[in-house]
Amino acid sequence: MSDLDKILVQFEGDLQPVHSEQALEELRVRYLGKKGIVTAEFKMLGPLPPAQKPARGAELNMLKERVTARLSERREELQAVKLARPTIDLTMPGRRPQVGRLHPLTQIEERIKRIFRAMGFSVETGPEIETAFYNFTALNTPEWHPARDEADTFYLDDERLLRTETSPVQIRVMQRGKLPVRMISPGRVYRNDKPDPSHFPVFHQVEGLYVDKGVTFADLKGTLLFFYRQLFGPDTQLRFRPHYFPFTEPSAEVDASCYLCGGKGCRLCKHTGWLEMGGSGMVDPNVLEDVDIDSEEYTGFAFGLGIERIALLWYGIDDIRLLYENDLRFLRQFT
Amino acid sequence: MRVSYLWLKDLLDFSLSPEELAHELTMVGSEVESLTPVGPDLTGVIVGYVLEVNKHPNADKLSLCKVDLGAEIKEVICGAPNVAAGQKIAFAGIGVTLPNGLTLDARKIRGVTSTGMICSARELQLNEDHTGIMVLREDALIGQPLQDYFGTRDYCLELEITLNRPDCLSHVGIAREIAAALKLEFTPPSYTIAETGPPIETLTSVEIEEPDLCPRYSARVIQGVKVGPSPAWMVKRLEAVGLRSINNVVDITNFVMMQMGHPMHAFDYHHLEEHRVVVKCAEPQEKFVTLDEVERQLDSRMLLICDGKQGVAIAGVMGGLKSEITDATVDLLLESAYFDPVNTRRTSNFLNLTTDSSKRFERGADPNATVRALDMAAALIVKYAGGKVASGVADAYPRKFEPWNVELRPARVTAIVGIEIPTAELQDHLRRLGCQIEGSDPIQATIPTFRFDLEREIDLIEEVARLHGYNQVPTADRANVALDVVAAAQETFEEKVCNALVRLGFNQVKTSPLIAKSETLLRDYPEALKLRNPGSEDMAYLCNGLLPGLLKVAAHNLNRDNRGFRIFESGRVFHKDFSEKEVVAGLMVGVQDLGNWDQGLRSVDFLDLKGAVESLLQELSLDKQVFVYYTIEGAGRFTADVVTVMASERQIGLFGQLHPKATAIFDIDVPIFGFEFDVAVLQGQSEQRISYKPFSSFPALQRDLAFVVAESVTTGQMSGAIINAGGEDLIRCELFDVYRSDQLGADKKSLAFRLIFQSFKRTLTDDEADLAIKQIMASVDRAFGAVLRS
């Protein structure tokens, strides 16, 4: 056995017990460092006769390569072991940054607004304290209409009241005198109702209006069908039932096919297959004339829907009051 | 309103099942809210014939009967005393469920098995008779379902009649709707009477003092009637729509009202002083006892039907007790009038008294139907109660209503509905609704006086559109998008504020803006607006700020073991001058960062709140604005440690710890930190457009310096002085440690700042940084006596 073979045997012996990267590094230094065993052998090349140098140099290089290769083999082994054996309990809970949530009513409202914005509707707002003129008279509500009663509407004084719908915003926008008008007005409205599972004196509505030349009932149907399909899914069907609203004529109640059963009938739709969504119709000519729009030249459609109603249906909430109680166990469910 | 399926069938020959009829009515505008079968469910009960009756071997009072059901013969035990061979009876076999919910099973009674039951009327819920079994007529067919023996089962349809359609508050009105929808011909029934009594002028007179409130009053007198029970068929019809039978005369007036929609009243002729009728307003504070034996106080705007001396009925609402029809009534005066809708509604509201009659008058009856209603009632009374009808009608009609004309242009129908409906079809629809039609373009429609809602062309367009069918109108498959849509900037800004707060861990809440007086009393809040007609005391005021609602939510959640949370709300608040503004406010409550379970739990504090507010302002591009700190003397809704945020000399909002007196209103006894910002001012100060600013590519130098200063020197003062003295290359100065110790001495603290120097022009040298630090040290020493900590 040559002296270099002995060094290799000694190295293998030293490598055997090494099981940490630190010990491995120490071993590398001991053999290949500035003062290492192999390095020392290279230093002794100098004094050798020139004839012996190439052979000895080649042997030394082989030794160094061999040592280097064995060191890196062991390093990889050690790293593999380290990766394979976790040092932390992976099942411990992570540290979670606190994230809040938007209220479910806001989430529904934003979905609705996104759909209408995509159809070119502007989003308009207006005061919640309205006058009887904007809330009723300008909307063609007859003087005798029970909606004007104190049993239905909250009054602040003889003229001022809390708006019962967001349609007054539509009057204010039409009064600006710029046509066409293509808008929705989302917002909070008030009715003198006793709180119960399906009523709350405060709730939210979205009302829409489109006034232009040549707008027809067929356009109303097309627009609402597009909207409800975006909201409830592409298979949604609509049904229009005649109704009476002072603001519109002809007027229609809009029913959407139940998104849960697809119209076959289930508990959600009370086995009718239909969900009542809100009122709609062609803007009454009186309303247009009162804001100086020529009702022979321009026609328009209007519609309304309740945000709470959609939230209750969509999330399967059975009591509207939950939306205003703000229990965090409730609110945190709406991701 | 309730209608009977069979009653409608009496009036119009149509072939829809009750369910199909309900759908048809709903789709033509009278929504059917419920459809309920009338009377008990007799399914399974059949007609049987008693072949033999024998004594039960083990019981004296029971008998053993053999009953022939046509297809088979059954042995049943019967306890009724009246059972006898040869009777036709109602038989319920094993497995049949009786109307009272009892399902029959084979039962052994004293050793003998009974395989069915012979029913009493009460067991079938037909009436209260339980003295024995119900014995059927001879003509009953053995084996026939009992329901068929009684005739077709009736159904009651509960309809939602819209406010504009009082003409639909009757079976005739609904029959007309059905005929129009199904394209059937419909003629309301007419009644002819023989006027065999004396001329009416010799019996009574009608005088109207208030023609505006009572445009028409018609009366007939019938002499010699016999008040008694009504015919069974009429009782059945009335009961089907929920009316109880009283006597033949009253029932007939109700029957006329339910069939024709015209309310009527019958007076006992001899209880009318001077046998005459005067229609006038009540005296102020006049007292009047109505049929229901309640004394009511009237006012001088209420219309009263009087006899020669005093009031006998509140017009259109309810009759008086004194002149009501009794069993002793022989002669009667029938009233059929038209009262002003608005005044009737006022009277009904003021007296808090709604009747079938007031409901119809306040929505609008037909002034030209009064005599037809009288004739129908008189014909039925003569038929079922006898008597002679005086000849002629006492008919005061001072304000005559004539049918009017409305034009309909077929092209206009297309312009509104979006589909061309043939002119002939338009004419047909209008004719079926009772209009007289002339011409084709425009169509001239003469409107019957029971359709006062048809005044304008658009009213006719709605009629033809709904009869054509809304669902026959095509659905447009394109939208005509306007390109000048104005972006609602404020509304999107509000979305931005909400989204930023959600990212910062705040949950959005929505509270009721209607709150109790006690909740409006937070210090420094303006006085709150009160509703004139609140629904309840705890929802009587409009919120004057958002903190009350948020505190209520905080209390709710603290009471439910929620240990820590952040909440916010964005919405309107209202001021005494009726103005309103958009505010965003939030609260931080309890334990901070519940998600970091291994870092120890600590309560949220002022710096958590301040950090959240700073992050919010940064998210809204407002972080370049200046905070102005100051303490409010005497403390309002916040404690003394409150921060006012100012930008461009406008107050944006406040944040700090809420005052314990404010939180105590809501029974909260833990520290609460909160903020309130004015959204419009926030938006005004927010940078609308973000423009890119280049950053230096030269390396930065970092120097950490700890200064010992007096406790009274603030971090803000120190960092301000450092930034002022540090020169243009000092780009950041951040506090990273605060240290106090005995060595430093009482009233001293060490503030450690990390300074970053960086130039846009070149690599800075250590010497340049050292020079800047020298200037900084000199400056803070001069200003605050600050020295470097050794």
- Identify whether the C-beta of residue B274 lies closer than 8 Å to the C-beta of residue B305: no
Measured between CA atoms, the residue of chain A closest to residue B481 is A120
Residues B449 and A53: their CA atoms lie apart, in Å, by: 130
Q: Which residues contact B769 (CB under 8 A, 6 or more apart)?
A: B701, B703, B757
- Looking at residue B107, what is its pLDDT? 79
Instruction: Let me know whether A10 and A139 are in one domain.
Output: no
Of B498, B507, B571, the CB nearest to A331: B507
Please determine whether the domains at B2-38+154-182 and B200-396 fall in the same fold group of CATH: no
Out of 3.60.20.10, 2.40.30.10, 3.30.930.10, 3.90.1150.10, the CATH code matching B490-686 is 3.30.930.10
pLDDT digits (tens, 9 = 90+) for B709-762: 999 999 989 999 999 999 999 999 999 999 999 888 889 999 999 999 999 999
**Residues 152-211 in A contacting B (C-alpha not used; CB under 8 Å):** 154-157, 160, 162, 178, 180, 182, 188, 190, 192-194, 200-202
Nearest to B369 by CA among B463, B280, B259, B279: B259
B488 in reach of chain A (CB within 8 A): yes
Size of interface A-B (CB pairs under 8 A): 235
Instruction: Let me know whether A41 and A137 are in one domain.
Output: no
Nearest to B430 by CA among B463, B391, B402, B459: B463
CATH, range B701-788 = 3.30.70.380
CA of residue B405 relative to chain centroid, distance: 37
Q: Which residues contact A214 (CB under 8 A, 6 or more apart)?
A: A299, B415, B480
Domain termination residue (choose one: A30, A55, A84): A84
Instruction: Let me know whether A59 and A132 are in one domain.
Output: no
pLDDT digits (tens, 9 = 90+) for B480-500: 776 665 555 555 888 999 999
Instruction: Let me know whether A182 and A46 are in one domain.
Output: no
A150 contacts in B (CB within 8 Å)? 532-533
Instruction: Let me know whether A181 and A321 are in one domain.
Output: yes
Tokens (6 digits) for A217: 């009932």
Instruction: For strands B564-574 and B507-508, give the pairing.
Output: parallel
- Identify whether the C-beta of residue B701 lies closer than 8 Å to the C-beta of residue B757: yes
- Identify whether the C-beta of residue B764 lies closer than 8 Å to the C-beta of residue B730: no
pLDDT digits (tens, 9 = 90+) for B205-262: 999 999 999 999 999 999 999 999 999 899 999 999 999 999 999 999 999 999 999 9
Instruction: Let me know whether A125 and A199 are in one domain.
Output: yes
Domain termination residue (choose one: A84, A118, A152): A84
Residues B363 and A145: their CA atoms lie apart, in Å, by: 10
Distances (CA, A) of B533 to A192, B504, B755: 9, 40, 63
Of A129, A160, A332, the CB nearest to B507: A332
Q: Which of B104-118, B190-204, B702-716 has the least mean pLDDT?
A: B104-118
Which one-letter amino acid corresponds to residue B94?
I
Helix axes B248-260, B356-363, angle to 10 degrees: 30
The domain that contains A272 carries what CATH number? 3.30.930.10
Which one-letter amino acid corresponds to residue A11?
F
Q: What is the pLDDT confidence band of residue B525, given thresholds at 50, 70 and 90? A: confident
Distances (CA, A) of B242 to B28, B44, B159, B163: 24, 26, 13, 22
CA of residue B507 relative to chain centroid, distance: 29
Backbone angles phi, psi at B416, to 5 degrees: -90, -45
Please indicate, yes or no, if residue A98 is contained in any of the structural domains.
no
Print the domain residue range for A305: 104-331
- Extract long-range pairs of B281-290: CB within 8 Å, 24+ residues apart: B281/B209, B281/B210, B281/B213, B282/B311, B286/B311, B288/B314, B288/B320, B289/B320, B289/B321, B289/B322, B290/B314, B290/B318, B290/B319, B290/B320, B290/B321, B290/B353
- Looking at residue A86, what is its pLDDT? 65
- Are the Cβ atoms of B510 and A216 closer than 8 angstroms? no
**Residues 451-480 in B contacting A (C-alpha not used; CB under 8 Å):** 456, 458-459, 461-462, 465-466, 470-471, 473-480
Tokens (6 digits) for B722: 């450092």
A118 in reach of chain B (CB within 8 A): no
Question: Which regions in chain A score pLDDT beneath 70?
Answer: 85-86
Q: With H, G, I as helix, E, B as strand and everything else as coil, classify residue B458.
A: helix
**Does the pLDDT of residue B628 top 70, yes or no?**
no
- Identify whether the C-beta of residue A122 lies closer than 8 Å to the C-beta of residue B487: yes
Instruction: Let me know whether A47 and A130 are in one domain.
Output: no
Helix axes B171-182, B423-432, angle to 10 degrees: 160
**Residues 517-576 in B contacting A (C-alpha not used; CB under 8 Å):** 529-536, 539, 542, 553, 556-557, 560, 562, 565-568, 571-572, 574
A215 contacts in B (CB within 8 Å)? 480
Q: Which residues contact B566 (CB under 8 A, 6 or more apart)?
A: A98, A100, B504, B505, B506, B507, B586, B587, B588, B589, B612
Distances (CA, A) of B3 to B157, B179, B261: 5, 16, 12
**Does the pLDDT of residue B281 top 60, yes or no?**
yes
Which one-letter amino acid corresponds to residue B536?
S
DSSP string, B551-581: HHHHHHHHTTT--EEEEEEEEEEE-TTS-EE
Q: Give the count of beta carbons closer than 10 Å to the beta carbon of residue B183.
A: 11
Three-state secondary structure of B483-496 = CCCCCCHHHHHHHH
Percent of chain B residues topping a pLDDT of 70: 97
**Does the pLDDT of residue B635 top 70, yes or no?**
no
Residues B153 and B147: their CA atoms lie apart, in Å, by: 7
CATH 3.30.56.10 fits B2-38+154-182, yes or no: yes
pLDDT (mean) for B278-305 = 94
Q: What average pLDDT does chain B have?
A: 91
Q: Give the count of beta carbons closer than 10 Å to the beta carbon of residue A335.
A: 7
Of A101, A149, A284, the CB nearest to B507: A101
Three-state secondary structure of B687-725 = CCCCCCCCCCCCCCEEEEEEEEEECCCCHHHHHHHHHHH
Instruction: Let me know whether A68 and A153 are in one domain.
Output: no
Q: What is the pLDDT confidence band of residue B634, given thresholds at 50, 70 and 90? A: very low
Assigned fold of B404-472: Phenylalanyl-tRNA Synthetase; Chain B, domain 1 (3.30.56)
CATH 3.30.420.40 fits B45-150, yes or no: no
- Are the Cβ atoms of A98 and B539 closer than 8 angstroms? no
- Looking at residue B629, what is its pLDDT? 67
Tokens (6 digits) for B139: 């003509």
Superfamily of domain B200-396: Phenylalanyl-trna Synthetase, Chain B, domain 3 (3.50.40.10)
- Cis bond before residue B442 (omega within 30° of 0): yes
Which one-letter amino acid corresponds to residue B162?
T
**Length of chain A as a residue count:** 335
pTM over 0.90: no
- Identify whether the C-beta of residue B451 lies closer than 8 Å to the C-beta of residue B405: no
pLDDT digits (tens, 9 = 90+) for A195-212: 999 899 999 999 999 999
Measured between CA atoms, the residue of chain B closest to residue A241 is B27
Residues A124 and A93: their CA atoms lie apart, in Å, by: 45
- Looking at residue B625, what is its pLDDT? 63
CA of residue B240 relative to chain centroid, distance: 27
Please indicate, yes or no, if residue A91 is contained in any of the structural domains.
no
Interface test with B, best of A95, A98, A99, A225 (most B CBs within 10 A): A98
Distances (CA, A) of B679 to B267, B571, B586, B718: 68, 9, 13, 32
- Identify whether the C-beta of residue A286 lies closer than 8 Å to the C-beta of residue A136: no
Please indicate, yes or no, if residue A19 is contained in any of the structural domains.
yes
Residues B701 and B434: their CA atoms lie apart, in Å, by: 94
Q: Where are the domains of chain B?
A: 2-38+154-182, 45-150, 200-396, 404-472, 490-686, 701-788
- Are the Cβ atoms of B465 and A250 closer than 8 angstroms? yes
- Looking at residue B639, what is its pLDDT? 79
Please indicate, yes or no, if residue A93 is contained in any of the structural domains.
no
Instruction: Let me know whether A68 and A181 are in one domain.
Output: no
pLDDT digits (tens, 9 = 90+) for A144-198: 888 898 889 999 999 999 999 999 999 999 999 888 999 999 999 999 999 999 8
Nearest to B314 by CA among B326, B406, B337, B330: B337
Q: How many CA atoms lie within 13 A of B189 on its CB side?
A: 21
Instruction: Let me know whether A110 and A54 are in one domain.
Output: no
Which residues is A203 bridged to in the sheet? A189
Instruction: Let me know whether A228 and A177 are in one domain.
Output: yes
**Does the pLDDT of residue B790 top 80, yes or no?**
no
Instruction: Let me know whether A51 and A128 are in one domain.
Output: no
- Cis bond before residue A127 (omega within 30° of 0): no
Q: Give the count of beta carbons closer than 10 Å to the beta carbon of residue A10.
A: 12
Of A122, A190, A221, the CB nearest to B485: A122
**Does the pLDDT of residue B145 top 60, yes or no?**
yes
In a 10 Å sphere around its CB, with 0-12 CB exposed, 13-18 middle and 19+ buried, how is residue B132 labelled? Answer: middle
Q: Which residues contact B529 (CB under 8 A, 6 or more apart)?
A: A156, B541, B542, B544, B574, B575, B576, B578
Domain total in chain A = 2
- Looking at residue B332, what is its pLDDT? 95
Which residues is B117 bridged to in the sheet? B92
